[in-house]
Amino acid sequence: MKRVIFCVVSVVVYALGLTSGVYASDKQMETLKQLYKRPLYIPFPKSAPYSPQLATLGKKLFFDPRLSGAKNMNCASCHNPSFGFETPVALAVGAANAKLGRHAPTTLNMAWVKPFFWDGRAKTLEDQAEGPLTAEVEMNGKFSEIVPELKEIAEYQKWFDHLFPGKGITRETILTAIATYERTIVSNWSPFDRWVEGNETAISESAKKGFVLFNGKANCVACHTGWNFTDNKFHDIGADTEDIGRAKFEPNNPKAMHAFKTPGLRNLTQRAPFTHNGSLSNLEAIVLHYETGGINRPSRSVDMIPFTLSDTEREDLINFLISLTADKSEVAMPVLPN
């Protein structure tokens, strides 16, 4: 699929006057747009098929501070719906009120992501859910305490017994429920989606030109592919960091040094600051970073090729990125059992 994407992009880009902002033919543009068409269903694993009751149970756990060691944090502490399921600070803050080493990644569209975390250390969403929950510097929860405490709550006991017959409340079933809810955290329809579906007035002419730049001159498509705008791979983008990233798990891969997971680009206007360490404060800063190519070192991605945009082109590209934010992002807070 990725090869097909690049072939189509090459055909379209060749036909575009990128420096002058001239579009390709309508047919070529439509072909390119369809590569970003959002799916109409959420993929769930056979081991944890979707049910609204299971997702609702997982949502309660996601927002329940009783899963943390000090009862002072929940998953939403670092994955806040108001901030694109991230936090509005460069580095996340853990249970001891201390800054962590990385920016909180979004939990948007995780049903289409694999592996998880900035460095890809978790293979499944269930593994991802366990990581922050039990890490001493994050939520500092312990299943040896969480399980018996939840068993004392009648409503939790009732629903776990109903949804997991013969198992009830266990470490495994708690993680299954949370992961099921996380798979339902999907970015809503954006102006860009409506444009892809045929509404030509859904985004501005500037944003349309930015879409061309995204797929051509700026070469953002080298990593940000598909409807969620990520190749789910690891790249060193030349960020100023001492964090070795993916290299911890691929020590013999020179390109893994300072390489981090490509984040999706949905709801970007809610998710600043950007990058694994939150070092780029806004969309203007991140576009300028890619223009310069970042720090030139052996591990830097071959796709980090410096380019120059005019002020108008930069504005066009940013307007396109803004069009990826959903029109509405409403998340109702659950009522937790007591």
- Per-residue pLDDT, 24: 60
Tokens, residue 145 = 């305490």
- Per-residue pLDDT, 25: 74
Residue 95: partners with Cβ closer than 8 Å, 6 or more residues away: 68, 69, 70, 72, 73, 136, 137, 138, 139, 140
Domains and CATH numbers, the chain: 2-35+188-322 (1.10.760.10), 52-183 (1.10.760.10)
- Per-residue pLDDT, 249: 98
Q: CA-based angle 314:316:319, to the nearest 5?
A: 110
Q: Where are the beta strands (DSSP E) in the chain?
A: 234-235, 260-261
**Which pairs with CB-CB distance under 8 Å and at least 24 residues apart come from 314-317?**
314/284, 314/287, 314/288, 315/206, 316/21, 316/206, 316/207, 316/209, 316/210, 316/213, 317/210, 317/213, 317/214, 317/218, 317/220, 317/287
Nearest to 312 by CA among 44, 29, 109, 19: 19
- Per-residue pLDDT, 335: 94
**pLDDT values of the chain reduced to their tens digit, one per residue, 338 residues:** 444 444 444 444 544 443 344 456 788 788 899 999 999 999 999 999 999 999 999 999 999 999 999 999 999 999 999 999 999 999 999 988 889 999 999 999 999 999 999 999 999 999 999 999 999 999 999 999 999 999 999 999 999 999 999 999 999 999 999 999 999 999 999 999 999 999 999 999 999 999 999 999 999 999 999 999 999 999 999 999 999 999 999 999 999 999 999 999 999 999 999 999 999 999 999 999 999 999 999 999 999 999 999 999 999 999 999 999 999 888 889 999 99
Cis amide bond preceding 273, omega within 30: yes
- Per-residue pLDDT, 23: 55
- Per-residue pLDDT, 21: 43
**Burial class of 67 by CB neighbour count within 10 A (0 to 12, 13 to 18, 19+):** buried
Place of tokens 């799916």: 39
User: What is the C-alpha to C-alpha distance for residues 85 and 104, in angstroms, rounded to an integer?
Assistant: 9
- Per-residue pLDDT, 329: 81
SS3 165: coil
For 109-152, the DSSP string reads TGGG--SBSTT--BSSHHHHHHHHHH-TTTT---HHHHHHHHHT
- Per-residue pLDDT, 140: 96
Query: Which residue type occupies 265?
Result: L
The reported pTM is 0.92
Residue 310: partners with Cβ closer than 8 Å, 6 or more residues away: none
DSSP 8-class letter at 17 = B
> What φ, ψ does residue 261 adopt, rounded to 5°?
-60, 135
- Per-residue pLDDT, 306: 95
Residue 215: partners with Cβ closer than 8 Å, 6 or more residues away: 9, 12, 13, 32, 221
User: What is the C-alpha to C-alpha distance for residues 278 and 274, in angstroms, rounded to an integer?
Assistant: 5
